[in-house]
């Protein structure tokens, strides 16, 4: 998700469609997800000198995205009760997720479709941005 930050307006919405057939990640990442109430809370913990855990970088990236945008997850691979424990919203279908986003941002909202998300780094023509600044 972090790759799309360069083309996302602050306050925008990401609708991510993924099977997540292998679960939501490592045990450490799952623990971090379940322990974290807000992205800001987690980012404060990251800067504590005694804080370190395996896969915290994944949580840092998620929180970086969530501090800029709303995330709607569409997944067939996760039970409904698990979706409720994550820091993201959920939708049963991509169409429903897009409808939620359009309801929030209006019918004139810009939409970017990014296939193979983790392998694509979209940009806005004529703009240079660093992901680290997102």
CATH number for the domain including 70?
3.90.226.30
64/78 Cα distance (integer angstroms): 23
Range of the domain at 85: 2-133
Residue 18 has pLDDT above 90, yes or no: no
Q: Tens digits of per-residue pLDDT, 23-76?
A: 888 999 999 998 999 999 999 999 999 999 999 999 999 999 999 999 999 988
Helices and strands in the chain: count of H runs, count of E runs: 5, 3
Q: How many domains does the chain have?
A: 1
pLDDT-derived band at 134 (thresholds 50, 70, 90) equals: very low
> What is the residue-averaged pLDDT of the chain?
87
Q: Tens digits of per-residue pLDDT, 90-127?
A: 999 999 999 999 999 999 998 888 887 777 888 888 87
- pTM here? 0.85
Q: What angle do the packed helices 56-66 and 27-35 form, to 10 degrees? A: 40
Dihedral through CA 116, CA 119, CA 122, CA 127, nearest 10?
180
83/105 Cα distance (integer angstroms): 23
């Amino acid at each position: 998700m972090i790759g799309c930050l360069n083309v996302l307006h602050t306050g925008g919405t990401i609708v991510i469609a993924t099977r997540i057939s292998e679960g939501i990640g490592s045990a450490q990442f799952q623990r971090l997800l379940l322990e974290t109430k807000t992205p800001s809370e987690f980012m404060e913990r990251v800067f504590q000198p005694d804080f370190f855990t395996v896969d915290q970088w994944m949580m840092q990236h998620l929180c970086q995205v969530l501090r800029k945008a709303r995330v709607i997850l569409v997944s067939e691979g996760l039970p409904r009760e698990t979706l409720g424990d994550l820091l993201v919203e959920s939708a049963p279908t991509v169409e429903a997720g897009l409808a939620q986003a359009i309801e929030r941002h209006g019918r004139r909202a810009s939409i970017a479709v990014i296939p193979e998300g983790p392998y694509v780094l979209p940009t806005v023509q004529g703009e240079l941005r660093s992901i680290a600044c997102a």
